[in-house]
Amino acid sequence: MIKINIPIKENPYDVIISRGILHEINNYIDVNRQIVIITDDFIPKVYLNTIKEKMLNPLIFEVPQGESSKSMEIAYSIIDEMVDSKITRKCLVIALGGGVVGDLAGFISSIYMRGVDFIQIPTTLLSQIDSSIGGKVGINSSNMKNAIGTFYQPKMVLIDPNTLKTLAQREMHNGIGEMIKYGLIAEKELFIDICQNNIFLNIEDYIEKCIRIKRDLIVKDVFDHGERQLLNFGHTIGHAIEQFSRYNLLHGEAVSIGMAKMAKHKHYYAELIDVLDKYNLPSDYDYDIETIYNYIKTDKKASKNTINLVLVDEVGKGYIKNISINNIKEYL
């Protein structure tokens, strides 16, 4: 078992990584309280069945897989049924699934009766190393990803690497996109490892490394005003391309393209393209530059005519630069 404390002031919590932890959930939470489980209809039912059999009578919501579930309509329908089911402020909400489920469940938890407890049980590689930690929760508007959201920390994150056994190869590689990002912005050795080694032989070690990198950044900057924005390397362009693709691209795939665009004149560009190819991650996409540019102008990191952009000149040393938003076109 690996335990990583996230020492956020006023709301510290633990991330626990352990194979088979789903079968031991009753050792980590009070299974006798009111429990709401939010999951999606694509996650293997064995994971839902494993945890619900430890509980009295959980209220369960299965939403459709994909970004379309991060909507006000679905959030409202879940909240409405929670009210009808007389779910109180003493309840616990469990997010069981990937990043979409975590964002949706966390957002609902943050606003239901002005805030209820929730925990994350991420079942995809991307959510295990990234989205389940740090407290960013939210839903999409019709024309912007994560436009409606809050910062709301979970009470605990339980990671069972065994859930990766049922993950499709594309979804595994989707997570590797974010893992590559961690190496580029913060740890050169991690980037080299991903390039040269079979990381799947000891995936827990890599999950732990990524979480520790993210922990160190979010503890310094909980509300994403400064250093935490390093985690957005490749995301400014990536989010726009993801939206342009109508979410046919997975998040890690879009971020991979964004990183490649940001690195195209850097000395490590060839290495980056090689490692993206190694994990079947794209480095380009057929998009309309003006459309992408207009998406970027509404990015949350944009302010008037400038935007904070994350740059990496030397592997392992990301930095933030405020540029004219017009200059983003040179990367597109």
Domain ranges of the chain: 2-165, 169-331
Q: What integer is the mean pLDDT of 295-315?
A: 91
d(C-alpha 91, C-alpha 33), whole Å: 6
CA distances from 25 to 53, 116, 163, 280 (A): 10, 19, 14, 35
* SS3 state of residue 148: strand
pTM score over 0.85 = yes
CB neighbourhood size of 277 (10 A): 11
Give the list of residues 6+ apart from residue 125 with CB closer than 8 angstroms, or none.
Answer: 164, 167, 171, 172, 174, 175, 176, 179, 203, 207
Predicted confidence at residue 303, as pLDDT, reads 84
d(C-alpha 176, C-alpha 250), whole Å: 12
Classify 169-331 by CATH class: mainly alpha
Predicted confidence at residue 251, as pLDDT, reads 96
149: nearest Cα among 204, 245, 71, 95? 71
Q: What is the pLDDT of residues 95-126, one digit of tens each?
A: 999 999 999 999 999 999 999 999 999 999 99
Q: What integer is the mean pLDDT of 253-267?
A: 97
Tokens of 268: 């490590």
Residue 2 contacts residue 204 (beta carbons within 8 Å):
yes
d(C-alpha 121, C-alpha 98), whole Å: 8
Degrees to nearest 5, angle at CA 4 with 137 and 224: 35
CATH architecture group of domain 2-165: 3-Layer(aba) Sandwich (3.40)
Asked whether residue 76 carries a pLDDT value surpassing 90, the answer given is yes
What distance, in Å, lies between the first and last C-alpha atoms of the chain? 43
What are residue 5's DSSP bridge partners? Answer: 14
What is the β-pairing status of strands 148-151 and 156-159?
A: unpaired
